[in-house]
Amino acid sequence: MKQSQTKAMIDDESLIDARPLLDKEPFIDKEPLIDKEPLIDNEHWLNIAQKCPSPNFNHRPEDEISLLVIHNISLPPKQYGGPFVQDFFCNRLDINADPYFAEIAHLQVSSHLFIRRDGTIIQFVPFNQRAWHAGLSHYSGRDNCNDFSIGIEMEGCDDEAYTDFQYASLQQVTVLLIQAYPDISTDRITGHEFISPKRKTDPGRAFKWQRLFTGLKC
């Protein structure tokens, strides 16, 4: 990936080094699986994920799915392993469970996938629907990235290393998404911080982009 391509992805040039420049394009095998159950079913649910349907979605204005956005989340902040992300995305967050929750419980947000620290994958919204993950956003001359993107939340924070299990799950899911939705390519994988640079910082400096991309070689 050339630096000019990376610069086109973001509005703030100070963030360019946060995503690596690759010497060559990772190879993705786009051939369909033969005589195997598809890992993304006809209703756009991932068969290897736990299903936790969220009410926070709507229809895409068009059928386009052409961008993958990586985020992070932890609830309470920098605490891992609890049920609170699922509760948050399903509008059932208990404001008495932590003082911070009173600040966010009114929000209606979601992502398509959530990858926990142990690599467990949870799906909230089918991929053909519009999850509410990006908010005000801009990518390659277009606003409203929710319209055409898939959002993946990594359990974590900007300055703490993600786990080996998470990278393994993310790599597996990314390959499957590229196979299922060919308008997504390795040129069209980005972070929330790049599409909303004035207000978001995730997945942060702790996220190793090079590790994701090199792991996509099949």
Q: Provide the annotated active-site residues.
A: 153
Residue with tokens 């195997």: 36
Residue with tokens 């052409």: 66
Closest to 204 measured CA to CA, from 21, 25, 78: 78
Alpha-carbon span 87 to 173, nearest angstrom: 23
Q: What does the buried/exposed string (b/e) look like for 171-192 if buried means 16 or more CB atoms within 10 Å of the residue's CB?
A: bbbbbbbbbbbeebbbbbbbbb
> Are the C-beta atoms of 143 and 67 separated by less than 8 Å?
no
Count CB atoms within 10 A of the CB of residue 152.
26
Torsion of CA 156, 162, 167, 170, to 10 degrees: 10
What letter represents residue 31's amino acid?
E
DSSP state of 15: G
Q: 203: cis peptide before it, omega within 30°?
A: yes
Bin 112: left if φ > 0, else alpha if -120 < ψ < 50, else beta. Answer: alpha
